[in-house]
Amino acid sequence: MHRETSLQVSDLIWPLFVTDGTGVEQPVASLPGVSRWSCDVLARRAKAAAELGIPCIALFPNTQADRRSDDGAEALNPDNLMCRAIRAIRDAVGDGIGVLTDVALDPYTSHGQDGLIDDTGYVRNDDTVEVLVAQALNQANAGADIVAPSDMMDGRIGLIRDALEQAGHANVQIMSYAAKYASAFYGPFRDAVGSGGLLKGDKRSYQMDPANAAEALREVEMDIAEGADSVMVKPGLAYLDIVRAVKDRFDVPVFAYQVSGEYAMIEAAVAAGAGDRDALVLETLMAFKRAGCSGILTYHADHAARLLNG
Ligand code: PBG
């Protein structure tokens, strides 16, 4: 009776990794329990997720090595893995589940950075934004419901919004990774999309300093002004103060990403006999809701959905 916060299946977004082939299920070593799936398997799992009541899935491609390049041009290929995955899900589930797509170049670049780099390896903001706009359009054309720029370039939300409107995609939403920190919690994800081994240096010239909170509010403010429909804070548990600050200050849905390293920590605790999976999953997800999240991206989404459905 006195409970202040609720956690529901409709709060969950399930991030999924896509790979080439048919009937493929490739475990990701650093993410026990998570696999890369080929489009056919992915479509079946998306259907099952819809049946569990999960409202949305987030797609990340593991692009073949020979399709990666300095300029990440594969991101603009209308038949790339991401676009094929979107179409496979649409064929299997129709509009029964939302499809959220990642806008950033790291799954497509040979250097693993999210944007175009200069001779020194520095990521060039404005040139990158031009490519991101084309990438977002490519995903919208293939049927994405929500494009989610995770690159942290400045100015991309406004330009993507304009391009979507002009191309007749007025109903495609933008969920901005507005406050994304340069974090040590992304390691397993980089393994999953195959960019980890390629990455030289770090992403600190565009992702945020974990020491900063006021800057997160400035980033969120800019993205809302440019037309973001919702904003995201990432990683999750270590940044719930940022979620709360954004929620208190702005009237916009706030999401958080319980990222790969957070998932791996829970699974490692379970494997070590240091905690109970079900309890850890539900407690951490409830903490996101208590902090003010409208929803959570989590690799435990299907597990949590089964628990919540009893
Ligand atoms: C990159 C991207 C990353 C994640 C989502 N999109 C990693 C990074 O910034 O290097 C991380 C998600 C996770 O760790 O689960 N565009």
Per annotation, catalytic residue among 203, 234, 247, 289: 234
Which protein residue has the closest C-alpha to ligand 1 atom 10?
A: 186
Alpha helices for the chain (secondary structure H):
39-52, 81-93, 125-142, 156-166, 187-193, 214-226, 240-249, 260-271, 277-291, 301-308
HSE, side-chain direction, 13 A CA sphere, residue 209: 6
Ligand 1 pocket mutation, candidates 30, 131, 175, 189, criterion most atoms within 8 A of CB: 189
- Residue 62 structure tokens: 């593991």
* pTM value surpassing 0.85: yes
**Please, are residues 104 and 151 in contact by the beta-carbon 8 Å criterion?**
yes
Contact (Cβ atoms closer than 8 angstroms) between residue 224 and residue 137: no
CA of 240 to the centre of ligand 1 (A): 18
The one catalytic residue in 180, 203, 247, 289 is 180
Q: In 3D, which of 299, 291, 262, 276 has the Cα closest to residue 7?
A: 291
Pocket of ligand 1 (CB under 6 A): 102, 104, 106, 114, 150, 186, 189-190, 203, 259-260
Question: What ligand 1 atom has the least distance to the C-alpha of 112?
Answer: 10
Catalytic site includes residue 200 = no
Number of helices and strands in the chain (H, E): 10, 10
Q: Which DSSP helix (H) or strand (E) runs through 175?
A: strand 173-180
Domains of the chain from N-terminus onward: 9-308 (3.20.20.70)
Give me the residue label for tokens 């031009």: 130
- Going from the Cα of 3 to the center of ligand 1, the distance in angstroms, rounded, reads 33
310 residues of the chain, pLDDT tens digit each = 999 999 999 999 999 999 999 999 999 999 999 999 999 999 999 999 999 999 999 999 999 999 999 999 999 999 999 999 999 999 999 999 999 999 999 999 999 999 999 999 999 999 999 999 999 999 999 999 999 999 999 999 999 999 999 999 999 999 999 999 999 999 999 999 999 889 988 999 999 999 999 999 999 999 999 999 999 999 999 999 999 999 999 999 999 999 999 999 999 999 999 999 999 999 999 999 999 999 999 999 999 999 999 9
Residue 234 a catalytic site member: yes
